[in-house]
Structure 1
């Protein structure tokens, strides 16, 4: 049995403000159609959406085997813009909560926590969906980014304490940080060393370390369009591509028993038909989807 999990920052409605034209909504619909109707992903987490966007996808695509999780919570001046579409035949949502830590009187959008039961296995699967502040609002060296990493680390540990063991936990989203940045590598402890994760189960494994930079080696006279990450920054100077979109796994997915990460399916979905919209300076889109697969033995 396989369970596929995907994330896409749609760019449709940042901070709950719908900005997409009808044509842009159709483009986004094609991406969601591919993920749900063609790939049949079990859980598709989405960023920069409203409840109206989620219902638009469900109803227009007639996704009768999916349900929507609306994470677009407004808490004071904070506006979450995340949600998910999940298959009701494979995942049963038993609990959810919105995580809003505070520091010095300032609140932060940390994550939406979703607790699923994998239907055929009767195993709990915990998801944390995040959309952290942009680099414009909070630069890469801002201590607030370190705070977010530490608080998400604490949230993962809280799941383990509730479970009495190291739980099956998946973290995904647009962190506006790359795998090597301190918030993720040092404070969340999402590392690239599988051997070390098996030895120290408090660590998390981030397969998107291997998706930094160019996916193919340079070959003379090759006309293939270069896509060196998940997010295209049209005004970038030292690089226009960043791997901000990631899916991260707790240590039980690396051996032991039960369900495992099949890392060959962890990648950035560089959709050829969607690429021109990402590169076009007048479009709103700047992110590719990312996907991973977990599966049972045998």
Structure 2
């Protein structure tokens, strides 16, 4: 009997290892023979925060336009911004010139407004008009995300891109607000996943990868094996590594956001990128890569009294 139990345990362990190492094609997710290889950037630029009092901006429009132009010039296919308004979007588009398209998502909602925009290479991409994902809770409007379809012109491959900027931490009932936003976003994203659509989510979550709204409510994971086992309900989070200092350089800043009065740290990974399992392939070791962009790498000085770094996502 003891021998039978040992054999059963060994068989169970081997079965577990086999399940963990199943190739990508074992799951009901279709991969494209022509990967998009897109580079997407998200940045909380601080030009025009919603409900901001006059003079609250941390960046000028010209400085923001310089960063957008530099990112596109150095290989990014699209740059999304938050904390912008309609005038900001128009001015940046004018400074970029030909070859680029701008999509403004700055319409009013309740007592506030959306503050998102995206600028992209028109020869590489095309888009369908964004649709807001929002709801209400105790009279408050919950701005969960803006959902838009991007298409790679060369491969005709589509991706559902969600852009977001959730309520800041010091705001009233901000935790509950972000939790509700995560619930709304999860419902919409899950529909896309079940219809086998490629999904990318980027934004300023004002929560970190390990916070409940992101890890549990949105069903995200840093483990690609786990996401590949649940492709119709989970998202991969490649920004986890940004939430901790380098093991060899613990004195250096980390994350995407600097906040001198933080309760547990001066550095936070509030800006994040999430993807569906379509961009994971165990056989080729392919996975999305997220990193911060330092302004010096773009050949620019740090604009204004900036507290957010741009986040770049490279899709394999």
**Shorter-chain TM-score range:** 0.7 to 0.9
Distance 2:163 2:57 in 1: 26
User: Residue 184 of structure 1: SS of its match in structure 2?
Assistant: helix
Q: Is the counterpart of residue 206 in structure 1 residue 237 in structure 2?
A: yes
Determine the structure 2 residue equivalent to 1:238: 264
How far off its partner does 1:132 sit?
A: 0.2
Return the TM-score normalized by structure 1.
0.84
Cα 1:191–1:93 shift into 2, 3 Å: same
How far off its partner does 1:50 sit?
A: 1.3
How far off its partner does 1:100 sit?
A: 1.6
Which of residues 133, 137, 143 in structure 1 aligns to 2:167? 133
Determine the structure 1 residue equivalent to 2:309: 288
Which of residues 38, 51, 56 in structure 2 aligns to 1:3? 38
Distance 1:22 1:195 in 2: 40
How far off its partner does 1:176 sit?
A: 0.3
Output aligned runs, 1:33-112, within 5 Å: 33-39=69-75, 41-62=76-97, 64-112=98-146
CA RMSD of aligned residues (A): 2.7
Q: Is the counterpart of residue 15 in structure 1 residue 50 in structure 2?
A: yes
Q: Does the 8 Å CA contact 2:100/2:122 hold for their aligned counterparts?
A: yes
Distance 2:177 2:56 in 1: 30
Determine the structure 1 residue equivalent to 2:15: none
How far off its partner does 1:120 sit?
A: 1.4
Distance 1:138 1:89 in 2: 43
Q: Is the counterpart of residue 114 in structure 1 residue 148 in structure 2?
A: yes
1:201-242 CA distances to partner (integer Å, 9 max, x unpaired)? 1210000011112246138xxxxx822110011322431110
Distance 2:44 2:66 in 1: 14
Return the TM-score normalized by structure 2.
0.79
1:119-172 CA distances to partner (integer Å, 9 max, x unpaired)? 1111221011000000011567x33322111111101023245xxx32100000
Q: Does the 8 Å CA contact 1:98/1:111 hold for their aligned counterparts?
A: yes
Q: Does the 8 Å CA contact 1:16/1:81 hold for their aligned counterparts?
A: no
Distance 2:196 2:144 in 1: 21
Distance 1:89 1:227 in 2: 37
Determine the structure 2 residue equivalent to 1:270: 294
Q: Does the 8 Å CA contact 1:189/1:204 hold for their aligned counterparts?
A: yes
1:15-42 CA distances to partner (integer Å, 9 max, x unpaired)? 1757478983343233222211223x11
Determine the structure 2 residue equivalent to 1:158: 191
Which of residues 186, 198, 202 in structure 2 aligns to 1:168? 198
Count of residues in correspondence between the two structures: 277
Distance 1:30 1:215 in 2: 29
Distance 1:276 1:118 in 2: 32
Distance 1:233 1:154 in 2: 32
Distance 2:124 2:246 in 1: 32
Cα 1:27–1:216 shift into 2, 3 Å: farther
- Show structure 1 runs of 4+ deviating over 6 A: 20-23, 273-276
Q: Does the 8 Å CA contact 1:71/1:83 hold for their aligned counterparts?
A: yes
> Structure 2 stretches of 5 or more lacking a match?
1-35
Determine the structure 1 residue equivalent to 2:274: 248
